[in-house]
Structure 1
């Protein structure tokens, strides 16, 4: 076999997993236009440089040979006109694909082991940034202002006062760098409370593990935010912005129908007169100046009388000291809940073994119980932090008493 002239040299830095490569696509178009009259051979180093996909490789060989063009691998030469040589071709072509598949599995297993070890894999979520330690280990860390904004986002969602979409818009105004789609995906990720998702693989169900990164919010706040977004919390929205003359608008409840009173101004002969009133058909109506004056007087009742501040201080401090026992009782309640959830999983497993329920029903019961366990553990963690909190309660009470003395001025 003699090759007289090299007609064209092609340099291309693309993966051979597919033939959708710019230079190769251009060569194929040229072959189709000229019917292969300008080419006799296509020469490359090895068959893994020709293709790393067995089926695509065979299809391309059939395409080339259909135009009378022979593919030649310099380091793995084959004469495709000899039938026995096709056995070697059947070895050379699948090997790159097998190598790719094995490499892909190794990467997948490695990433799964890393997730199980608590490491975040991939680009950091809003509020975090990717960093590398001196030993080359990659990790995520809070990203200054972005982290503070995401913490504020979760706390605001958990309060269930503003809609989530409105909270995103407010955070964007304050400097949050996050699109709407990324935001909705982020607020559902437990990474912010220090958990890493290990996805389902084979017979192993999806589960959460403790992450190595620093959480931005507590587990309790994270789950409260999830409940708010899922509509499990039924808080009643109130308006927090109102003119000074209508400062109580949105906070008063009608004594007849139970709805929240609104407020508006009526044009008099010489000035505007403000009223708190209910909506039709209810006719409840109050003068704003009278209500505001009464409420201001009501606030003055909370100002400590001379000599009572020290008594208040002692009572509050004694109550705070006694609260530790209540926290322990709450902790015991949540521990009992975890025990009940584990018993529920055990009973469900017994029902599955007795063929009383199906495997899908067992998985549903198990997932519900595990979610309950996670929430109870988050509550226990929050209680432990309160119990272990070494707080100067006396200084806090003194500060509160000073605030109470000027409390009516805040209105």
Structure 2
């Protein structure tokens, strides 16, 4: 009397719960064993793809059970060979492994004597026919999708800012999301100015409702769907191409193309010609009126004799705030001098920043692992969808939608992994130059051009400064600079008090 283990498999959880395929397979196997007097030692029930043995948890349990009890087991039985596998190469390998354990592998509806060499030919036929059918379905699906896309249809997952719909002809397309679409349009326009980084634009739109990750936002900015196009990848002898979509664009092509140039670092922002007024008023646009909270502007005026020009920072004509530019500029230079760091502390600051960098690297590795795990799961889902199509559990249209959704997410993951896996090879160089910069920022500012002065102000201060007659107050320094200057991480207010001394600097701590 033979001792056997039986194996039943379907491709989906849905079929496992609602269909009768598993039950039918089990009943057929039990009847067969009863008829021939076989003893069933164990039954393994699977609901995963037939393409890959390693991705099937129940089959892996079956292998472990067989290795532990190989002396007791005579055969592994299943209904048909496509329940075992649809991959010829993998099937022969696994059959060989079971043979080495003394376990015969066979189908009850398509039995073969694998001890005979000729049987291997018939086995290959049983296994390759389903594989060929899968390949044919895949080719038909690809051809159908490409034809629809060339006609302007959108067949994948709707990008953020769009919703799925069908036009009057019943073709699949997109319609703007009334809530998110205006935010995306605003983000494109803002970034196209060349003033803000992508991360700054993302952060400005996050509280407005555009919830998206850093890498997701970069992918969004590169997506031609937003200018009304459909991107079709290269295939066989056909090159990649952009075609006009049936959906409406959220941004015009000029703005979109400018954004692509900025992302590639090929766009030069038009520079404003600096005048004598700009040289005398480097803080213009960076100061806030303490009275009305508006941004101070500046201008020059002739003296009584009309020979000399005197410059002032002032508010609007409805506000009386007015300060001599020479005094404000001098006070600002003294404040910059107070930001200098001592050479003795440079090593300490470098260690602090390296520690922060290492923390970010750990978080990056965690994200990479998570994305790779999601990538593996998507591969499994795609294999399952192909099985469903072959077994006629889903139609071609449903499969196409599922495949497009999975392919789109796979592309996003690929972009995110590429971004995360970039090495920060220039960290040491930037760190050294950054600390050196803070060591003499006041000298660089005093000797620099008006353009350099304005860049220094933008680099150090996140927000505009409020000027109170005798001192500046800023609510926030750039994060890395604040970490270097204030090691105890308490918030401080920088204050230059000229009432006591024109050159003294007082730093007041705020609990």
TM-score, shorter chain, exceeding 0.5 = yes
Higher relative CO (Cα under 8 Å, sequence separation at least 6) belongs to 2
Tell me, which stretches of 5 or more residues in structure 2 are unaligned? 3-35, 288-295, 300-308, 321-511
TM-score, normalised by the number of residues in structure 1: 0.58
- Shift of residue 260, structure 1, vs aligned partner: 7.1
CA distance in 2 between partners of 1:259 and 1:219 (Å): 40
CA distance in 1 between partners of 2:298 and 2:132 (Å): 77
CA distance in 1 between partners of 2:150 and 2:124 (Å): 39
- Shift of residue 192, structure 1, vs aligned partner: 0.5
1:255 aligned to 269, 272, 276, which one?
Answer: 276
- Shift of residue 168, structure 1, vs aligned partner: 1.0
1:68 aligned to 95, 98, 102, which one?
Answer: 102
1:4 aligned to 17, 35, 38, which one?
Answer: 38
Residues 1:58 and 2:92 aligned together? yes
* Alpha carbons of structure 1 residues 78 and 153: separation in structure 2 relative to 1, 3 Å: same
* Aligned residue number for residue 196 of structure 2: 162
Is the 8 Å Cα contact of residues 281 and 311 (structure 2) preserved in structure 1?
A: no
- Shift of residue 256, structure 1, vs aligned partner: 8.1
2:164 aligned to 108, 120, 130, which one?
Answer: 130
Residues 1:112 and 2:146 aligned together? yes
CA distance in 2 between partners of 1:262 and 1:144 (Å): 40
1:209-288 equivalences in 2 (<5 Å): 209-235=243-269, 253-255=274-276, 261-263=282-284, 286-288=311-313
- Shift of residue 199, structure 1, vs aligned partner: 0.8
- Shift of residue 133, structure 1, vs aligned partner: 7.5
Tell me, which stretches of 5 or more residues in structure 1 are unaligned? 239-251, 266-273, 278-283, 297-411
Question: As a proportion of its length, which structure holds more strand?
Answer: 2
* Aligned residue number for residue 41 of structure 1: 75
Moved more, 125-134 or 37-46: 125-134
* Alpha carbons of structure 1 residues 275 and 127: separation in structure 2 relative to 1, 3 Å: closer
CA distance in 1 between partners of 2:228 and 2:108 (Å): 54
* Aligned residue number for residue 101 of structure 1: 135
* Aligned residue number for residue 23 of structure 1: 58
Give the root-mean-square deviation of aligned CA atoms.
3.4
TM-score, normalised by the number of residues in structure 2: 0.47
What is the count of residue pairs matched by the alignment? 268
CA distance in 2 between partners of 1:156 and 1:29 (Å): 59
